[in-house]
Amino acid sequence: MASNNIINVNLFGEEIGRIGLNEHEKRSSFQYNPTFLERTDLRNIFPETGIIKRTPHVQLFSQFDNDTFKGIPPQFADSLPDMFGSIIFKAWLENKAEHNITVLEQLAYVANRGMGAITYSPSIKLPKNATIDLDDIIGVIKEVMDLKKSKEEKILDSKSLINIFKIGTSAGGARPKILISENKKTKKVIPGDLEYSDDYNHYLVKLAIDEHVKYPREIVEYCYYLISKELGINMMSSKLIDDKHFATMRYDRQNGEKQHVLTATGITGWDYTDPMNSSYENLFKLGSFLKISHAQTEELFKRMVFNVIYNNTDDHMKNHSFIYNKENDNWSLAPAYDVTYALNPLLNFKNTNRALSINGKRNNITLSDILKIADDFTIKNPEGVTKAILAKKAKLLSLFKEYDVSNKVAESIDETIINLV
Ligand SMILES: Nc1ncnc2c1ncn2[C@@H]1O[C@H](COP(=O)(O)OP(=O)(O)OP(=O)(O)O)[C@@H](O)[C@H]1O
Ligand SMILES: [Mg+2]
């Protein structure tokens, strides 16, 4: 239990510091463990964006008291559940008749199950469960989602709820998802919070259970993944489970080790829900600040153009991440994720504001807006890159056919593809 409103933060098996929270004064604090600061390596685990400084003194934060950061520095707020995780979290607490837990207690529940490599202690222990039943999990999630809708009192089976709580609250994002691990040899699937060895492939699975959206979002995401890969966009290997759930390998579990990762929001404190800092220019600048290679800057450009052409308008600052290399003490661009059609193809409303602006625009982006960014960040052959991305349209449409996406949905997506010429 997080006692005295303080919790320890650990990374790579070492206590790096402590977070404190004064809810009354709506202030949090972080203090590095002085022993950790003496190390000559691992100096750049939190890039110096002016938030967490390398000092042995207590650092105070009052500027993060909002829905995105819940009062704590963004580097740690990245570990908290997002929309879907929060729904599960709430149902679980209600089931236990517990209310109003503090954000540090939430981190104590995250414990060593969080995304990335940061862990929190002392943790709140939960029973271990070695098996996984997808149907059961989906049943529980549906019940929880209905509960949210109707606000009726329903008693959920607490054992099932614990199972989904442990593997369904760590990953961010709005859509229903769980973490699983699959044994490379036996193919046996276990809950994703137990192992991180090289004997397993670790997946984040986006579940096809949203019955209110009557089109196969996860299959569309899979088709988007397939063309992104063909275009050379770096994405983790992904597959469909039971022909409908989108499973993507975790970049924060590789080579049998936890990888330290942060979202762009987590590194900078740029609130992903606030248009203020939400621009591709800022993302490119962040890349330069982190000294990513020029090849990665070009990759970022490719992702941006892809997102424009294929209407991935939900390309916010939490949908871009960076990954830390502890040997070199430096950061690089994480593989792309959440690359999909972000509008509802069954609605006639086909225009929405892009989360990240380009050349000051969130709508009606043109080739010249794209070229402006290419110019600013010395991207080679931007017209050629754009043409190659556009040329994948036929492949996307043929994949929709192959995976039985209805004509109506395929046509609707086709209609909105932006002919950037
Ligand atoms: N392959 C992956 N490996 C590790 N972490 C991932 C991976 N894919 C996604 N994530 C993490 O999980 C979070 C949620 O995933 P994703 O963005 O795909 O879900 P979503 O619910 O569609 O999100 P949104 O709310 O943006 O629509 C991401 O913000 C990212 O931090
Ligand atoms: Mg997302």
Tell me the C-alpha distance between 88 and 69, whole Å: 19
Whether residue 403 sits in one domain with residue 320: yes
At 323 the pLDDT is: 98
Whether residue 181 sits in one domain with residue 87: no
Whether residue 354 sits in one domain with residue 217: no
CATH code for the domain of 202: 3.30.200
Instruction: Evaluate whether residue 394 is within a structural domain.
Output: yes
Q: Tokens in use for 360?
A: 């000051």
Q: Which of 124-128, 139-143, 212-216, 414-418 reaches the highest mean pLDDT?
A: 414-418
Q: State the pLDDT confidence band at 152, using cuts at 50, 70 and 90.
A: low
Residue 154 has pLDDT above 70, yes or no: no
Please, is 125 exposed, middle or buried when counting C-beta atoms within 10 Å of its C-beta (0-12, 13-18, 19+)? Answer: exposed
Residue 25 has pLDDT above 80, yes or no: no
Report CA(171)–ligand 2 centroid distance (Å): 9
Instruction: Evaluate whether residue 334 is within a structural domain.
Output: yes
Name the domain boundary from 254, 279, 297.
254
Q: State the sign of the Cα–Cα–Cα–Cα dihedral 225, 113, 52, 326.
A: negative
Instruction: Evaluate whether residue 127 is within a structural domain.
Output: no
Q: Average model confidence (pLDDT) for the chain?
A: 93
Residue closest via CA to ligand 1's atom 9 equals 337
Tell me the C-alpha distance between 201 and 256, whole Å: 9
173 in contact with ligand 1, CB cutoff 6 A: yes
At 132 the pLDDT is: 87
Residue 1 has pLDDT above 50, yes or no: no
Residues 378-418 pLDDT 10s: 999 999 999 999 999 999 999 999 999 999 999 999 999 99
Q: Average the pLDDT over each of 40-44, 137-141, 308-312 and give the range with the smallest value.
A: 137-141
* 3-state secondary structure (DSSP) of residue 88: helix
Of 347 and 368, which is predicted with more confidence?
A: 368
Whether residue 81 sits in one domain with residue 167: no
For 175, 250, 298, the CA distances from 293, given in Å and listed in that order, are 32, 22, 9
What one-letter code names the amino acid at 27?
A: R
Q: How many domains does the chain have?
A: 3
Residue 241 has pLDDT above 90, yes or no: yes
At 263 the pLDDT is: 98
Q: Tokens in use for 263?
A: 């979202």
Whether residue 201 sits in one domain with residue 263: no
Tell me the C-alpha distance between 282 and 286, whole Å: 6
Atom of ligand 1 nearest to the CA of 176: 21
Whether residue 207 sits in one domain with residue 263: no
Report CA(300)–ligand 1 centroid distance (Å): 17
At 146 the pLDDT is: 74
Residue 198 has pLDDT above 60, yes or no: yes
Whether residue 218 sits in one domain with residue 76: no
312 in contact with ligand 1, CB cutoff 6 A: no
Residues 328-360 pLDDT 10s: 999 999 999 999 999 888 887 777 899 999 999
Instruction: Evaluate whether residue 421 is within a structural domain.
Output: no
**How open is the CA angle 28-34-37, to the nearest 5 degrees?**
100
Name the domain boundary from 254, 289, 321.
254
Residue 72 has pLDDT above 90, yes or no: yes
Residue 140 has pLDDT above 90, yes or no: no
Q: pTM (2 decimals)?
A: 0.95
Report CA(175)–ligand 2 centroid distance (Å): 8
**Crossing angle (nearest 10°) for helices 367-376 and 382-390:** 140
What one-letter code names the amino acid at 247?
A: A
Residue 246 has pLDDT above 60, yes or no: yes
Nearest ligand (C-alpha, residue 175):
1
Instruction: Evaluate whether residue 176 is within a structural domain.
Output: yes
Tell me the C-alpha distance between 51 and 75, whole Å: 9
At 149 the pLDDT is: 57
Q: Which of 77-86, 151-160, 282-291 reaches the highest mean pLDDT?
A: 282-291
Q: How many residues does the chain have?
A: 421
Report CA(201)–ligand 1 centroid distance (Å): 17
Nearest ligand (C-alpha, residue 82):
1
Residues 53-62 pLDDT 10s: 999 999 999 9
Tell me the C-alpha distance between 314 and 339, whole Å: 9
Tell me whether strands 238-241 and 245-249 are parallel, antiparallel or unpaired.
antiparallel
Whether residue 228 sits in one domain with residue 183: yes
Whether residue 107 sits in one domain with residue 142: no
Q: Which domain holds residue 98?
A: 6-121
Report CA(319)–ligand 1 centroid distance (Å): 7
Report CA(318)–ligand 1 centroid distance (Å): 8
236 in contact with ligand 1, CB cutoff 6 A: yes
Whether residue 380 sits in one domain with residue 292: yes
At 161 the pLDDT is: 85
Instruction: Evaluate whether residue 393 is within a structural domain.
Output: yes
Nearest ligand (C-alpha, residue 173):
1
Residue 2 has pLDDT above 70, yes or no: no
Name the domain boundary from 206, 230, 254.
254
How large is the average pLDDT for residues 194-212? 90
Nearest ligand (C-alpha, residue 174):
1
Whether residue 301 sits in one domain with residue 229: no
Residue 185 has pLDDT above 60, yes or no: yes
Q: How many other CB atoms are found less than 10 A from the CB of residue 301?
A: 21
Whether residue 313 sits in one domain with residue 379: yes
251 in contact with ligand 1, CB cutoff 6 A: yes
Residue closest via CA to ligand 1's atom 7 equals 250
Report CA(246)–ligand 1 centroid distance (Å): 11
Residue 104 has pLDDT above 90, yes or no: yes
201 in contact with ligand 1, CB cutoff 6 A: no
252 in contact with ligand 1, CB cutoff 6 A: yes
Q: State the pLDDT confidence band at 421, using cuts at 50, 70 and 90.
A: confident
Which residues 6+ apart lie within 8 Å of 198 measured at CB? 255, 256
Whether 266 contacts 78, CB under 8 Å: yes
Instruction: Evaluate whether residue 171 is within a structural domain.
Output: yes
Instruction: Evaluate whether residue 126 is within a structural domain.
Output: no
Residue 319 has pLDDT above 60, yes or no: yes
